Structure 1
Amino acid sequence: MNFKRRAAAATAVLAVAGAGLVTVQATAEATQPASHARPESCPDLTVSKGWYGANKARLQRMIDAYGHCGPQRHKGGAKPVATFDWDNTVIKNDIGDATMFWLLRNGKIRTPERGDWRTTSRYLTAPAAKALARACPGPGTTLPTRHDTACADEILSVYSEGATTAGKAAFDGFDHRRMEPQYAWLAQLTRGWSTRQVKHFAAAARKENLAAPIGTEQRVGTKKVTGWVRYYDQQRDLIRTLKKAGFDVYVVSASPEPIAEVWGKGVGVDAQHTIGIRNVTEHGRHTARLKGCGTVRDGDDSMITYIDGKRCWINKEIFGVRGAAAEKVQPAAKRQVFAAGDSDTDISFLRDATALRLVLNRNKNELMCRAYENGDGRWLVNPMFIEPKGKKADPYPCATTGYTERDGREGPVRRADGSVIPDQRDTVYGASTASSAR
């Protein structure tokens, strides 16, 4: 993508954050000299509703400091980078879900190679493969999920619940800090379609979900599922303002990249600034194999844009870091200034941001443990802008089970020095609860 432009990035652009991830010091937006006059031409955030406390003001100060108006403005052609998760960060609800539901309702999932469901994911369990084969038998180019509710129900259960309709685990054997097989499975089930066709499907789902009233449910198989999506006005405004100030703004999503590209246009983010799950293609069509990052080769299917995988893909595609180094935290001059997310899936690239990290509170344990502890003063917590979650009754279990290990076990959330973050209470929330999505 744009990594060649990063090679000359001046360390001065990010000098404010040079002390590392956990050093407690003044936040970036507070480092502007008091005498610095703010030109009238500097772009302003215009949407105030929905921002908690001083969050909008702090974001504006960061934009002023690092944008073309400020004392930390980019030099030598290198722009400051802002990275956004997509689902439930820039929009309410989930574009991967919306597309999967559309594919099932319209019969657009192709029959697995040789009828073997294990070809769709290396992590699919034997019970899941057997359950899918029983529910979706017979020849044919595509599966009859438009009218075959048993087949639609089984695929939906494996995708949404990570389990068969009988309650058997659908996936195992994966690194929980690099891979979420349920998310990857959507990309893998686009096998046989071209990228253009996948974008067409995503556009059709987008049109339906934006037109549906808030709260709409749709029927897939015999189940009722979410049937609406909305862009957050606040995030659209933030992205617009960052771009006007000279930031390079990227979307980094755990949804398939063609789907994220379709939706990203609605906030002015083009395909060159969109990073998502990527399929290996053959003869212009998607295969069930996925592209890799860092030490993971194409087709190994063991790392997607998920937790540490998001860090790897950002380092590779935005900053031009290759090989094993892409999996590591980079020097401050090769990291994003700002990041926004809503889930534990975003934690690594959020921690890498050198100025501010915006978190939408969806009660995700590790993320909220780190955000509420706020060890370096750079975390901003905000309720969701639509249907915010209410206060979490119990503290976040930071000291015991807030962290997910690579093998899936739970453990304490630790700082960079190895010390344990104590349990944190929920303090930034809305008046209602909302359903969870990725």
Structure 2
Amino acid sequence: MNFKRRCTAAAAVLAVAGTGLIGVQATAEATQDAPPKRAAKCPTLSVSEGWYGDNKARLQRMVDKYGSCGDGHGTKPVATFDWDNTVIKNDIGDATMYWLLRHGKIRTPKDGDWHTTSRYLTRPAVGALAKACPATGTTLPTHRNTACADEILSVYGEGTTTSGKAAFAGFDHRRMEPQYAWLAQLTRGWTTRQVKRFAAAARAENLAAPIGTEQRVGTGKVTGWVRYYDQQRDLIRTLKKAGFDVYVVSASPEPVAEVWGRGVGIDARHTLGIRNVTAHGKHTAHLKGCGTVRDGDDSMITYIDGKRCWINKEILGVRGAAAEKVQPAAKRQVFAAGDSDTDVSFLRDATGLRLVLNRNKNEVMCRAYDNGDGRWLVNPMFIEPKGAQADPYPCASTGYTERDGGEGPVRRTDGSVIPDQRDTVHGASPASSATQD
């Protein structure tokens, strides 16, 4: 895509001094969020319930400032949203995996070798899967063979075998989550159209199910419902009407995210997710790469630093190794929304505002509460918000996940360590009503 048509030329908003979320926001009110002269012409957010404090007002001022209704910069500002638990409640990757297992739609591994489905599967995992899922046909009868369904579900959901042994090893924890990638890899042998059909069936079931529904997969019970957040649908609608280029960037398979994105008006061209390498029109177990990662290396997906790379490459037009790097402020997205440590890098890149839904995830909450530049907004989840975390987030010790999986302190851009942060924005916000379609 042409970078000049996709990014905003606006300079970064003035940095605001201070580290406390509430104190910094007060300063921001008088600086970066001042309404432009033509703000009255901007589309306005219509859903008020569920927004914490002045978050809605600050989002509106961002729309007024950067949208085509504001001062106008001649290019479309970019807004990027994570999907699972950011635009919707619960996880579309999980919903799709559960559907595949319940309907026996996972292909038998090539030559019965599970290592062909992920290079990061450990020997114990490969052995456990082979034992539980004997190769008896082109697809695995997981709708009948509960032992096979249980083993796949444990490896995917817990990252361990049913006996508790580690299922994946040897990956870069800042650019790959092999459990997420494995879902995309297990769609091997199907066409993109077929995968979308599976995702659409799972979507219909999960939206129709009452909130709190559980479904049986194998011998266990798992979440059986999903809802769109009315607040995020309203925000996306408003941003688009104001002239923003709005994208979804998900760590679920891209065809799955495309199916769900339609429900908030996001088309396939504005959806990024895990992409399979295809052969003869069908998915393979290999994945597309970004930056220095070649197609088929299977070592980077839309996850933490990988989300930054894919946004830079596919939205902002940055090619090669440079896509892995933080771009100049004028070449980055204005707005980003996320809920988890998987979203940290692309959230940090946003130059206007960064919205975080609080799911008690260490690194992202450390950075959001530290709020050194006044651009972070914290909001409770709109449905079933979490209560306050009793202990402070361990920002100064173990809040950061290293590339090798180790833990360390969360550091600011200048290298200084973020002190531990108290959880102050939580379940005080009431759950909203949520549409089912």
Q: TM-score, normalised by structure 2?
A: 0.94
Q: How many aligned positions are there?
A: 425
In structure 2, do the counterparts of structure 1 residues 34 and 230 end up closer, same or farther at CA, with 3 Å as the change threshold? closer
- Which amino acid counterpart does residue 322 of structure 1 have in structure 2? R
Consecutive unaligned residues of structure 1, counting only runs of 5 or more, are: none
Instruction: Indicate whether 1:106 and 2:103 are aligned.
Output: yes
- Matching of residues 26-175 of structure 1 within 5 Å: 27=28, 30-31=31-32, 36-39=37-40, 41-71=41-71, 73-75=72-74, 78-175=75-172
User: Does the 8 Å contact 1:199/1:258 carry over to 2?
Assistant: yes
Provide, for residues 268-296 of structure 1, a one-character-per-residue CA deviation record: whole Å limited to 9, x for no partner: 00000000000000000000000000000
User: Does the 8 Å contact 2:38/2:70 carry over to 1?
Assistant: no
- Matching of residues 8-407 of structure 1 within 5 Å: 11=9, 13-16=10-13, 27=28, 30-31=31-32, 36-39=37-40, 41-71=41-71, 73-75=72-74, 78-407=75-404
Give, in angstroms, the shift of residue 206 of structure 1: 0.0
In structure 2, do the counterparts of structure 1 residues 54 and 32 end up closer, same or farther at CA, with 3 Å as the change threshold? closer
Provide, for residues 213-246 of structure 1, a one-character-per-residue CA deviation record: whole Å limited to 9, x for no partner: 0000000000100000000000000000000000
Provide, for residues 152-172 of structure 1, a one-character-per-residue CA deviation record: whole Å limited to 9, x for no partner: 000000000000000000000
SS in 2 for 1:300: coil
In structure 2, do the counterparts of structure 1 residues 10 and 236 end up closer, same or farther at CA, with 3 Å as the change threshold? closer
Mapped to 1, the partners of 2:379 and 2:85 lie a distance apart of 12
Mapped to 2, the partners of 1:353 and 1:66 lie a distance apart of 13
Q: Which residue of 2 aligns with 1:428?
A: 425
In structure 2, do the counterparts of structure 1 residues 213 and 419 end up closer, same or farther at CA, with 3 Å as the change threshold? same
In structure 2, do the counterparts of structure 1 residues 278 and 18 end up closer, same or farther at CA, with 3 Å as the change threshold? farther
Q: Which residue of 2 aligns with 1:412?
A: 409
Provide, for residues 392-417 of structure 1, a one-character-per-residue CA deviation record: whole Å limited to 9, x for no partner: 00000000000000000000000111
Give, in angstroms, the shift of residue 2 of structure 1: 5.3
- Which amino acid counterpart does residue 270 of structure 2 have in structure 1? H
In structure 2, do the counterparts of structure 1 residues 283 and 29 end up closer, same or farther at CA, with 3 Å as the change threshold? farther
User: Does the 8 Å contact 1:16/1:28 carry over to 2?
Assistant: no
Mapped to 1, the partners of 2:268 and 2:321 lie a distance apart of 26
Mapped to 2, the partners of 1:92 and 1:10 lie a distance apart of 30
Provide, for residues 300-351 of structure 1, a one-character-per-residue CA deviation record: whole Å limited to 9, x for no partner: 0000000000000000000110111000000111100000000000000000
Mapped to 2, the partners of 1:37 and 1:432 lie a distance apart of 32
Mapped to 1, the partners of 2:145 and 2:430 lie a distance apart of 34
Give, in angstroms, the shift of residue 15 of structure 1: 4.6
Q: Kindly, what percent of the aligned residue pairs are identical?
A: 82
SS in 2 for 1:346: helix
SS in 2 for 1:14: coil
In structure 2, do the counterparts of structure 1 residues 383 and 35 end up closer, same or farther at CA, with 3 Å as the change threshold? closer
Mapped to 1, the partners of 2:393 and 2:44 lie a distance apart of 35
In structure 2, do the counterparts of structure 1 residues 264 and 28 end up closer, same or farther at CA, with 3 Å as the change threshold? farther
User: Does the 8 Å contact 1:28/1:65 carry over to 2?
Assistant: no
SS in 1 for 2:237: helix
Provide, for residues 16-46 of structure 1, a one-character-per-residue CA deviation record: whole Å limited to 9, x for no partner: 3699xx9x9965994466672433x310000
- Which amino acid counterpart does residue 57 of structure 2 have in structure 1? A
In structure 2, do the counterparts of structure 1 residues 406 and 374 end up closer, same or farther at CA, with 3 Å as the change threshold? same
User: Does the 8 Å contact 1:160/1:182 carry over to 2?
Assistant: yes
In structure 2, do the counterparts of structure 1 residues 64 and 307 end up closer, same or farther at CA, with 3 Å as the change threshold? same
Mapped to 2, the partners of 1:284 and 1:105 lie a distance apart of 25
Consecutive unaligned residues of structure 2, counting only runs of 5 or more, are: 432-437
In structure 2, do the counterparts of structure 1 residues 29 and 327 end up closer, same or farther at CA, with 3 Å as the change threshold? farther
Mapped to 1, the partners of 2:287 and 2:34 lie a distance apart of 48
User: Does the 8 Å contact 1:27/1:355 carry over to 2?
Assistant: no
Provide, for residues 337-370 of structure 1, a one-character-per-residue CA deviation record: whole Å limited to 9, x for no partner: 0000000000000000001000000000000000
Mapped to 2, the partners of 1:111 and 1:35 lie a distance apart of 59
Mapped to 1, the partners of 2:51 and 2:42 lie a distance apart of 20
User: Does the 8 Å contact 2:8/2:331 carry over to 1?
Assistant: no
Mapped to 2, the partners of 1:432 and 1:133 lie a distance apart of 47
RMSD between aligned residues: 2.1
Mapped to 1, the partners of 2:226 and 2:219 lie a distance apart of 21
User: Does the 8 Å contact 1:387/1:432 carry over to 2?
Assistant: no
SS in 1 for 2:355: strand
SS in 2 for 1:205: helix
